[in-house]
Amino acid sequence: MTSPEMQRGQSTVEYACVIAFCVLLLVMPGADGSVPIVDLANALKGYYNAYAYALSFSSTIAPL
């Protein structure tokens, strides 16, 4: 039998491996040379700029 401490340690190692793999996928350039994390940041920046632009048209922030 395995003790709860060893099981907790195993899940920590598994979690660290999955996170490391995800980070590796985000920072490695794709076939076209673009880096996914940069594309994600640019998309979020664009969505926020569009949101702020639309919000600037409202004179009051109150529900209808």
Q: In the chain, what are the domain boundaries?
A: 4-56
pTM here? 0.60
17-52: per-residue pLDDT in tens? 999 999 999 999 989 999 999 999 999 999 999 998
DSSP conformation letters of 3-64: -HHHHHHHHHHHHHHHHHHHHHHHHS--TTS--HHHHHHHHHHHHHHHHHHHHHT-S-----
